[in-house]
Structure 1
Amino acid sequence: MWDCAECIRRYEAMKHVQAVIAGLTAEDPGVDWDVTDSIVATQINLSRHIADAHREALPDWDDTCGTCADHRTTLERTGRRTPDLLPGAVMAAEEHRARHLFAPPRVVGLL
């Protein structure tokens, strides 16, 4: 991941958005400065790139992560009940696993 220029570009974009929103929030905490959820969008953007371009770098499922457990259950259930929806479930699960590479534990479980 850290040898990839695209990963670095997307990571820096994510950190920049976080810093900008944090600065605006510090100035006026009563306003939702991230109404378009750009922080979440940049995290998804990076995790999607990692899952697509660096699949071999995805960490294994984390047995202590409730969201990993939820994704595993969803994959199993979707594969049995609605296999046509499985590609979307796989994509979401891979994005979550990728987030373990760059997001703190308190944040990684949110998606």
Structure 2
Amino acid sequence: MIIEPLRVPLIPDVVALMELGAPYITPRTYSDYWLYSEFQDIMTHPEHRRRGVTRALVDDLRKQAWVWSCRRLYLTSGPGNIAAHKTWETLGFANVRGDRFIDGVSVITDYKGPGKTRAVYELVLER
């Protein structure tokens, strides 16, 4: 798998890809993509799903986290994104206990700001 830094010419392609993830992923303003040094809004293009792309990405992230001596990986999903919840659990992530449940998934209210409730997942990296 090739993971490369986001470059300005690629932003329109990223925004177009993210629009395919609605309502679970929505593009922010173009300038927002330079404010983060974390992995966010991960999705696989619909034409490439069910081919191991997400598993390969998580495996690469896990390897890099190991190199950096990280002890855990965290990610979030929108409460209604059932496919994502199943994927994260299949890949070994555990749904972190939140303050309530939505459709059987534990969520944290307003986790990413007002009205942005999220299911949080954790993967403990064994040393």
TM over 0.5, yes or no? no
Structure ID, larger Rg = 1
TM-score normalized with structure 2 length: 0.27
Q: Which has the higher helix share?
A: 1
Greater relative contact order structure (CA < 8 Å, 6+ sep) = 1
